[in-house]
Structure 1
Amino acid sequence: MDGSLDFKTLRESLQAALVATTRTANSIASEDLQFQRTVNPTVGSQLDNSSGRLLNLANGLLKSTANLTGQKVGTLEDADDVDIQWRNIVDVIDSLLEKADTCLDEYTGLIKRKDVPTPADQGRAQKRVKSSNDRLEWSLKRANILKPQNNFERKVDNFAAGPWKPLLSSKPHAKVSLEDSLTTFVDDDNNTQYKHPYETEIKTTPYPEHVYKKREPKEFLPIDSTSAVWIDTYEGVLEMLEELKQAKEIALDLEHHDFRSYTGLLSLMQISTREKDWVIDTLQPWRHKLEVLNEVFADPKIVKVLHGAFMDAIWLQRDLGLYLVGLFDTYHACAVLGYPGRSLGYLLSKFAEFEADKKYQLADWRIRPLPEEMFYYARSDTHYLLYIYDMLVNELIERSTPGKPKPDLLEQVLERSKDVALQRYENPSYNVETGMGPRGWYNVLLKSPTLYNSEQFAVYKAVHQWRDNLARREDESPFFFMTQQVLADIARILPTDKKALWSILDSNAKGLKSHLDHLFDVIQKAREEGVDGPKMMDIFKSDSSIIAPSKRAAVISDDSDIPDVKELKADRSQFWGGVTLSSVWDGTAAKTAKLDGMLEITLPYPADFMDGTATEMEVDQPEEEAPAPQPEPEQVVVNQEFTLRSGGKRKREEESEEEEEASDAEIEDSSAPHTETDAQTGGEAEGDDSDEEEEEEEEEASDKSSKKSKKAAKEKKKQDKEALRAQRRVEKAAKKEAKKKAQEEAAAAAKQAEGEEGEKKDQPFDYSQAASVLRARKTQEDVKKQNKRFNPYGNKGQDGPKGARAHYSAKAAGRTATFKK
């Protein structure tokens, strides 16, 4: 390439070449290459050569790009591999383009490089700027270093079964000896576990008196004027221990790593007093000797201040054999005080005006030597914590209930802190069949929306167990080999060959390449065994059989005295009071009806379909005062539809018919009480005249006479109804005529008033003489408007119907070509 060409000419030539190449590739893709290969054999050989050359170029480009971005893509052997690894290829190209954009922006000055802040530039006078938008570099998040656990003098057993035994070799500040403390018990899951060795000391030892007293908060020293000591030797630990024994309270924080270890690694420990900060390397081969710190950690006279110490207490037990007596958890102080935020970053911002860069929480804390920015972050977590502790204690005392010997809010925080310190570490295990346990699959599938059949469920369990065993053997996290999403995809897709299995694995599963054959065999074997196996829902349905034995109530074997139920029966209902029970629910009603043989009386009650006989029962009820009459509920007026203008002649006739029907209903309602009274009167007369010795013939005669009387009454009621209806029609016509006459007189008076000369004064509106709005009559103008028809040949914007809203400001003329005369 000629060096005299400027950048503009070079860019134009490159763009022209790329455009020509893209156009040619698109034109080739639109052709039927398979047909051309079949017709002309020479074309097939040319296509094979071109495909091989393109694959070589693509492999070289991806390899160089992956080395630059720290990613990895498999070799493309054929065109199918491009589709299989398309996701990884896109990730690599995107990373390359992002780096190119960043370099161009930095070169043009659009963005500037950010220098790493040093601890000397920080302090309360100059706040540390929070850079949460900056992403942590991959080298700091997933460092490729040798495993430090391989050099530990005390190795970790990932396959340990049974209860986990505490690592204590001595017990400072003990109330109960170490031998008596290391006892076992059976937990709720019927597993044998060791008790907490400092359980008695934590529960019974009181906090120092100065904890309950209000104090003047001691201002923290500027972070640049205090010393931070890095300790990576046992001698340095002993020197630090002597200084810690002189303090009344210390601040403590931990940094943990769990990606390249099965159980996890306590990687760093930060301790601060009022005057000094220490950062201890806990990945040294002699890390088990840090148990000597129990002389301070288990001392109840020294308050240990931590924030969110739930996992910290477990990590200290598991890796170093350290226990916390006299813990004060600032997280629970935030909860009791009702702060809107409960994180350490919130407390640092509220009390110390310090903004912490929390992106280093996800950093790989195994890195040695520790970068300066990570060292500063670790130190700042505990540097301000004692001042925050003073502020929280004072506020807890101020907001506690006065008059009590000890502040109640402060007591709540201390009790919760004791519960945190009493947490115990247990070996990570699980039941392969049921999935129960801290490393089991049961809780994961319980929250998963996917339902697996028998084959998929068998593959899921088999791959989950295989991954767990591999992680224990290699001392890696199970997610280092296979994420939960990849495990679910394998069970859902059920790959049929190794290439399909490799396509499911993500780019981070590079550690499985040497185990791919074994994993494929596990999947095939699980599919064969899972044909007749249980489904996932079968396990969830049998959940009660899994957990029931541990929660089943004890069965009483002896026969205890059962109290007499009759003695516990009340004579009167507490809910119904003295209300007489219905005969429908009383079994004696049928017996009384058979004995008395009383005449049936048909009553319009809803209970009539339950029992055909209505008899009187004599029920012994206690004499009580009649209940006060309950007020009748107000009738709710139902909203009905109405129109502002009445219809034409047909509509008015329908309304008059509805009014007549309504009047008929009123007549029936008014006549109903008389009919019921007559029936009851007749029934009572017949009941009085009846005798038990009357013959059946007399009863039949009385029935016939009653039927005739009912028929006559019905005819009379019909005649009355017709007469009343006619009377109402006459009255209604008279009312309409009078109303019409009144309206005409009012209109005439109004016209006369308008014609008179004189002083015009405002007159109040007379609503009594106003025309009806709901039943208004149509005028001639309304009829004309209604009869006006649409002219399709006129202007669309003037004669046509108007739309809901105008989309254009100008009125467009309508099209006339679609209308023909």
Structure 2
Amino acid sequence: MSEVISSPTPSVEVTPVADFEFISTPEHLETWVKDSEAHLQATGETRVCLDTEADSLHHYHEKLCLLQVACGGRFALVDPLAIADVSPLLALLDRYELWFHGADYDLTMLRRTYNWEPRMIRDTQIAARLAGARQFGLAALLQNVLGLTICKAPQKADWSRRPLPVHMLSYAVDDVRYLLQVADHFLAILRSKNRVSWFEQSCGALQKEVAQRSMAPREDPWRVQGSGRLNAKGLAILKAMWEWREGIAQERDIPCYRIMSNKQMVSYAEAFELGGVMNPPGGWRPRWKKEFHDLVAAVFRAGQASWPQRLKRVKSRMTDSQRDAVDKLCTKRDEIALGLDVEGSLLGSRSDLEQLIVDPATENPLMEWQEALLRPVMSEVSVAGRNGTEPAD
């Protein structure tokens, strides 16, 4: 039995507690930040918590809709739709150890909205995984660690609506209310296993990864998953459908998937290639059906000269011996992970291990703790891989 999750107390339904402030004016925010700073200094608390809600499931332009904050037992829900400048809050958070749960998306939205990268983050999801948890969603952790059941129904609600109903506000504050209790539980386990440095390095690596991501739009965003198997004819109709769908979604301010999913578009493109019948979905309004038939006709009229070409596939740089070396390294990695009672991917992704074998001269993609665990098996495996014969041109 894994020691990661302690036996929970009997499950109880969490009752909404109105102990938070909903902040929608700069003056209110400034006062709350000032009072919270004084409270943190008085109590000696060095940790604060943050979570975010957005509206990507309901609108074309995704935007940040709510900031949930916990500072030493003081809770606030800050409305970024009403307050353009939340810099006093961000400055406060930067003076403390900032905890999230599943920080990747939150960090991305905060960077995109405010061009802000926190000074130091800690992530309970990372802590849970390094401690050996296999269920690491927040609701699962609250249930397994604290015996608490929280309602997740508002998770996919439209957070841009105003006013927000009480049950959504209660749900939102619960995302930060118990975070430090969960953190303390897993930090205790990490200390007992000598893995705190693993945790700190992993949180830093996540910050670095998010900060290095390009915010520039993709050059050909219509080349969705599955498009690589299409020929020029199929790519032409896929591109036309993508552009039409973008226009409709923007016009109606709804997510693109609510008109047609990427998978549907690829299926239509495959049918188009084979000369099959392309009937639009039955639930579409007449205008959309007409425009759909018009775009198909337009692709035919444009002719093959205007059709986009399939991207040339980059040949694998791995030789057979290198591929075998990667397979062996992955196997060894998983054996080590099994002994540590963690997922194998935490010790290094397959793509990272491929880089070690194929491009050993490039920057090592592993964190120090990962490299230390894999070093005993890496040398013999990587040498075997490098001894492979390079493929002919």
> Per the shorter chain, which TM-score range?
0.5 to 0.7
Q: Tell me whether 1:332 sits opposite 2:90 in the alignment.
A: no
Identity %: 21
Map of 1:102-501 to 2, 5 A cutoff? 127-128=12-13, 224=17, 227-246=19-38, 247=40, 248-284=46-82, 287-299=83-95, 302-400=96-194, 407-419=196-208, 422-424=211-213, 426-431=215-220, 439-446=221-228, 452=230, 454-472=232-250, 475-494=253-272
Question: How big is each residue's C-alpha offset from its partner over 1:366-404, in whole Å with a ceiling of 9 and x where there is no partner?
Answer: 222222222221111110011222222232222217xxx
AA paired with 2:34?
A: E
Match of 1:525 in 2: 298
CA gap of 1:527–1:452, structure 2 versus 1, over 3 A, is farther
- Name stretches of at least 5 consecutive residues in structure 1 with no aligned partner: 1-123, 130-221, 402-406, 432-438, 548-552, 554-821
CA contact (8 A) 2:126 2:199 kept: no
List aligned pairs for 1:586-665, cutoff 5 A.
Answer: none
Structure 1: which amino acid aligns with 2:293?
Answer: F
Q: Which amino acid aligns with 2:21?
A: V
- What SS does the corresponding residue of 2:85 show, helix, strand or coil? helix
In structure 1, what is the Cα distance between the partners aligned to 2:89 and 2:212? 19
**Matched positions, count:** 301
Distance 1:244 1:420, change over 3 A: farther
Higher RCO structure (Cα 8 Å, ≥6 apart)? 2
Q: Say which of 476, 481, 505 aligns to 2:281.
A: 505
Given that 1:328 and 1:417 are in contact with CA atoms closer than 8 Å, whether structure 2 keeps it comes out as no
Counterpart secondary structure, 2:135: coil
1:250/1:273 contact within 8 Å kept: yes
Deviation, structure 1 residue 517:
4.2
Separation (CA, whole Å) in 2 of partners of 1:411 and 1:493: 50
Q: Are the structure 2 counterparts of residues 261 and 223 from structure 1 closer, same or farther at C-alpha, using a change threshold of 3 Å?
A: closer
* Cα root mean square deviation, aligned: 3.4
C-alpha displacement at 1:339, in angstroms? Answer: 1.4
Distance 1:127 1:488, change over 3 A: same
Secondary structure, counterpart of 1:376 in structure 2? helix
- Describe the SS at the equivalent of 2:21: strand
One-letter amino acid of the counterpart of residue 182, structure 2: I
> Whole-Å Cα distance in 2 between the matches of residues 440 and 309 of structure 1?
28
Q: Which runs of 5+ in 2 are unaligned?
A: 1-8, 41-45, 318-358, 360-393
Using the size of structure 1 for normalisation, the TM-score is: 0.33
Distance 1:480 1:531 in 2: 30
Structure 1 distance, partners of 2:281, 2:187, is 52
Q: In structure 2, do the counterparts of structure 1 residues 453 and 396 end up closer, same or farther at CA, with 3 Å as the change threshold? A: closer
Match of 1:602 in 2: none
1:329–1:417 CA contact under 8 A, matched in 2: no
Cα deviation, 1:412-449, whole Å, max 9, x if unaligned, reads: 34433543563546133332xxxxxxx33243424xxx
Match of 1:544 in 2: 314
Distance in 2, Cα, partners of 1:423 & 1:379: 30
Q: How far does the alpha carbon of each residue in 1:85-135 deviate from its partner, in whole angstroms, 9 at most, with x for none?
A: xxxxxxxxxxxxxxxxxxxxxxxxxxxxxxxxxxxxxxx998117xxxxxx
CA deviation after TM superposition for structure 1 residue 464, in Å: 1.6
1:459/1:527 contact within 8 Å kept: no
Residues 349 and 359 (structure 1 numbering): CA distance in 2 closer, same or farther, change over 3 Å? same
TM-score (normalised: structure 2):
0.66
Paired with 1:506 and 1:269, the residues of 2 have a C-alpha distance of: 40
Shift in Å, 1:290: 1.6
Higher strand proportion: 2
Provide the secondary structure at the position in 2 that maps to 1:252: strand
Secondary structure at 2:84's aligned position in 1?
helix
Task: Indicate conservation of the 8 Å contact 1:397/1:410, yes or no.
Answer: no
CA distance in 1 between counterparts of 2:154 and 2:168 reads 7
The AA in structure 2 aligned to 1:459 is: I
> Alignment partner of 1:277: what SS?
strand
Q: Classify the secondary structure of the residue corresponding to 2:52.
A: strand
State how far apart, in whole Å, the 1-side matches of 2:207 and 2:266 are. Answer: 40
- Look up the SS of the partner of 1:427 in the other structure: coil
